[in-house]
Chain A
Amino acid sequence: AQKVTQAQTEISVVEKEDVTLDCVYETRDTTYYLFWYKQPPSGELVFLIRRNSFDEQNEISGRYSWNFQKSTSSFNFTITASQVVDSAVYFCALSGRNNNDMRFGAGTRLTVKP
């Protein structure tokens, strides 16, 4: 069975602080995909990143970075110099080889205060 755990239910930071959102996953598949999505207060789901299980390279996109570690089954997301516009619920998700069985974590609500 596949499972995603986002242990941080809510995080509050002050603008310009760095913040890391944790994601731990469980799977028996050797081929799998990991994702992060953002859900701003307006409610839509915005795709941020996809990583497959064979690519452990960390990725940086502007102020966003992702740390994928198979040894600890984690796929953590860091926002550097947070901004008020980063306030949202962030979901980590996992899907297996056939990519039709996406499992989401419960989400982490990030509030960035001015």
Chain B
Amino acid sequence: DAGITQSPRHKVTETGTPVTLRCHQTENHRYMYWYRQDPGHGLRLIHYSYGVKDTDKGEVSDGYSVSRSKTEDFLLTLESATSSQTSVYFCAIRGSDEQFFGPGTRLTVL
């Protein structure tokens, strides 16, 4: 157990509304990541963070923003949700070299 929690675990929202997903870790890891999982695509990196206030884009960053004001929290925001953002979102932290994942958040955008 890598001490990663995600909230909420499930969310249904409507197109055009803002949504924020939270990832919380208890082990003071420097690197944190947000992925989305879609059928046929595996997991794809959205954004990652390498320290407080230090973030960078991943493969599928359009339509998403992130913030990290504390080591333990990494927030993913959809400013105006679209149906194409319906997905399962995973947060991860990096241990020595491998990444450990949170339980996931299932987001449905109607």
* CB of B36, distance to nearest CB on chain A (Å): 11
In whole angstroms, what is the CA distance A77 to B104 when docked?
25
Q: Which residues from B are CB-within-8-Å of A102?
A: 33, 43, 45, 99
* A91 in contact with B42 (CB, 8 Å): yes
In whole angstroms, what is the CA distance A93 to B98 when docked?
11
Q: Give a binary string over B76-110; 1 marks a CB under 8 Å from any A CB, 0 the rest.
A: 00000000000010100010011111011000000
* A50 in contact with B104 (CB, 8 Å): no
Q: Which range holds the interface residue count of chain B?
A: 20 to 34
Chain A CB within 8 A of B56 CB: yes
* A44 in contact with B104 (CB, 8 Å): yes
* A91 in contact with B103 (CB, 8 Å): no
* CB of A91, distance to nearest CB on chain B (Å): 6
Chain A residues packing against B (C-beta within 8 Å): 4, 6, 33, 35, 37, 43-45, 47, 50, 52, 91, 93, 99-107
Q: List 10 A-B contacts (CB under 8 A).
A: A33-B97, A43-B88, A44-B101, A44-B104, A45-B104, A47-B99, A93-B43, A100-B31, A100-B56, A101-B58
